[in-house]
Amino acid sequence: MLAKSFEKAFDDENWLFEIKWDGYRAVADLSHTNPLFYSRNGISFLSKFEKVSKDFSHQKHKMILDGEIVAYDAHGKPNFQLLQQIGDHPDMALTYQVFDLLWLNGHSTEELPLLQRKELLKEALTETDVIKYCDHIPEKGIAFFNQMNTMKLEGMIAKKADSLYIENQRSSDWLKIKFTNTDEAIICGLTEPRGSRESFGALILGKYIDGKLIYCGHTGTGFTNESLKQIYDRLQKIVIKTSPFETVPTTNMPVTWTKPELVCEIKYSEITKDGIYRHPVFVAMREDKEPEEIQLNPKNEKSREMKAKAPLKKSVNSEKEKIITLDKHKVTLTNQDKIYFPKDGITKGDVIEYYQSVASYILPYLKNRPLSLNRFPGGIEEQGFYQKDAGDHMPDWIKTTKVYSESNDKYIDYVYCNDKATLAYLNNLGCIDLNPWNSSLPDLEHPDYLVLDLDPSKKNIFNDVIETALQVNEVLHSVKVKGYCKTSGSTGIHIYIPMGGKYDFDQVKDFAHILMKQVNEKLPKLTTLERSLQKRDDKKIYMDYLQNRTGQTLASVYSIRPKEGASVSMPLEWDEVKPGLKPTDFTIHNSLERIKEKGDLFKPVLGKGIDMMKALELLQGNG
């Protein structure tokens, strides 16, 4: 649960007040034998803050806690920068200030009023030198705020005493009131340094407003020589040629643009009417925040009741915005006239309409599968971005699942799409294509199907892809395996083999590799298994068997692709796979008709899996 910004302290008998800690928000899940300890965006804190996690063994109850990890300087004052240097200072003074309880001994406590949750927490928590119960004072917000100011702390959090715990929501039942104005911003570029300064001059900052990345100022102060170099080195890895902003800002120094992937915290004096920070000063990098979370938040909403009394500024049925009800959920659709495919005149509204028309066909292939959201809020000719983590702005009815990511060492809160309402919501975010995992809940370790992705180089023609696909089918035929193919909707062909969740990802990937080697032996001049683009022959089709790994995603069957022409990934009968077939044959305009005529050709992909051992024996016989 997250807090909204509020400008001034207040007294209210229905509210309680806590210290605003300047640290990392962290959830400790002690409900299983092995504890989990992770940040708001799912980064594991178990090893990084071992000083805290080793004290979990002192806890007597099974519970899920919410709190803040705080580091203290030599004067006993919370210091966020120190927290980031934990690796260099393992003996640093640290506490985990626990202020909420979400689950206790088999029961969720989220529906209980806050005061009751805190009473239970106080009883259940075993305090140690590091794990502390975060106390509060009722009613007297102004005096408490003044005391925080005297102590030179960051501010206070005001919470409605009867508030329920609403996950992943920025609620006006919790308010943050700070002494200095601080904010998070996305780093979108850097300017050249002047004079004797090294690395860079200033960071160019941005925020998302209605899905568009908007410039909000730049900061050139607050850095040390060391932090200048560290940030510069990180940004060099994500340099892009063009500005990621909706409207390119003017700057007085040359700019190197970067992917909008890193978030920093800044201090500032005020925000101008047009949304630009005045006197912004760099404070720290925020590894615990995702760029998608950094949205413009209006200040000063004290509670939902007050908000409800405000008159609605615009008609719900205006062209800008309409509200529809699907699966008993209200979905707000915005900017339906926004052009997503400029050369084809296809709008956001057209994309939503297409997906609703094929929902009964596509949903079985999305159901219970984590999705990588490939978002194009400005249409296909603007910079798109991938979003894996749901962030804090999804409605609470959207289903998500936490999955641990080895490569990022964090938990990612993936969205999955089981109904028309979620489908419309995701399309409205700018998800033109939908990219599900090969495995589904509850068992994400065992894929439901194997995927062979035939990916041509720029020098191949589509007939080369067709020839390769037919060769794959011959190899499959020889081992009595039935494959199902579809156009990728872009330049390639995807071939799926049902696995029925019987084998793990490594087994499936190895089997795919063996199949592709057979095809490569038959078509050595046309195909390659070389993964590296530098080493790969640029006249060959790459047979990508590595799509069969945890977390890999491909555009779903019946998905529109963000390509000119609005082509659709369409299942084919094998006798249709012949020279003359084009990936652009099936589009947003004719796909529904074809699906109705042919039925769902892909249905067996989700059916009973093949006997892989039998197929391997036959392959050895072939060999």
CATH code of the domain containing 601: 3.90.920.10
Pairing verdict, β 527-528 and 541-544: parallel
The answer to the question of residue 301 being in a domain is no
Domain boundary among 293, 311, 332: 293
31 and 158 co-located in one domain: yes
- Spell out the residues 6+ positions from residue 136 whose beta carbon is closer than 8 angstroms to its own: 16, 17, 18, 99, 118, 159
506 and 585 co-located in one domain: yes
| pLDDT value for 388 | 84
B/e letters for 193-231, b = 16+ CB within 10 Å, e = fewer, are beeeeebbbbbbbbbbeebebbbbbbbbebbeeebbeeb
| pLDDT value for 433 | 93
47 and 150 co-located in one domain: yes
Pairing verdict, β 107-108 and 484-487: unpaired
461 and 599 co-located in one domain: yes
| pLDDT value for 178 | 85
DSSP alpha helix (H) spans, 130-275: 141-150, 225-236
The answer to the question of residue 605 being in a domain is yes
Dihedral sign, CA of 254, 259, 260, 263? negative
- Spell out the residues 6+ positions from residue 190 whose beta carbon is closer than 8 angstroms to its own: 200, 201, 202, 203, 204, 232, 235, 255, 256, 258
Domain boundary among 436, 462, 496: 436
423 and 456 co-located in one domain: no
| pLDDT value for 309 | 29
Q: Which domain holds residue 270?
A: 181-293
Euclidean distance between CA atoms 547 and 438, whole angstroms: 9
| pLDDT value for 623 | 56
401 and 535 co-located in one domain: no
- Spell out the residues 6+ positions from residue 591 whose beta carbon is closer than 8 angstroms to its own: 354, 358, 558, 568, 570
Confirm if 487 and 502 have CB atoms less than 8 A apart.
no
Euclidean distance between CA atoms 364 and 368, whole angstroms: 9
Q: Give the CATH number of the domain where residue 267 resides.
A: 2.40.50.140
Run of H or E residues at 187: strand 181-191
224 and 289 co-located in one domain: yes
483 and 499 co-located in one domain: yes
Indicate the number of domains in the chain: 4
102 and 72 co-located in one domain: yes
What is the length of the chain? 623
Grouping H, G, I as helix, E, B as strand and the rest as coil, residue 239 is strand
The answer to the question of residue 442 being in a domain is no
Q: Give the CATH number of the domain where residue 90 resides.
A: 3.30.470.30
Give the residue from 573, 556, 494, 493 showing the smallest Cα distance to 358: 556
The answer to the question of residue 298 being in a domain is no
| pLDDT value for 410 | 74
The answer to the question of residue 549 being in a domain is yes
The answer to the question of residue 313 being in a domain is no
Domain boundary among 154, 178, 202: 178
pTM beyond 0.75 = no
31 and 135 co-located in one domain: yes
Give the residue from 163, 474, 211 showing the smallest Cα distance to 333: 211
565 and 597 co-located in one domain: yes
pLDDT < 50: residue spans in the chain: 298-319
At residue 301, what is the residue type? E
Question: What pLDDT digit, counting tens, does each position of 323-344 carry?
Answer: 899 888 989 898 888 899 988 8
- Spell out the residues 6+ positions from residue 428 whose beta carbon is closer than 8 angstroms to its own: 331, 332, 333, 334, 348, 352
Pairing verdict, β 484-487 and 493-498: antiparallel
B/e letters for 549-571, b = 16+ CB within 10 Å, e = fewer, are ebbbbbbbbbbbbbbebbbbbbb
| pLDDT value for 486 | 95
Write the CA distances from 10 to 14, 16, 115, 157, 175, integer angstroms.
Answer: 11, 10, 19, 11, 11
Question: What pLDDT digit, counting tens, does each position of 449-459 carry?
Answer: 999 999 888 88
The answer to the question of residue 312 being in a domain is no
17 and 163 co-located in one domain: yes
Please report where in the chains the tokens 């049925």 appear, as a residue: 317
| pLDDT value for 622 | 65
The answer to the question of residue 299 being in a domain is no
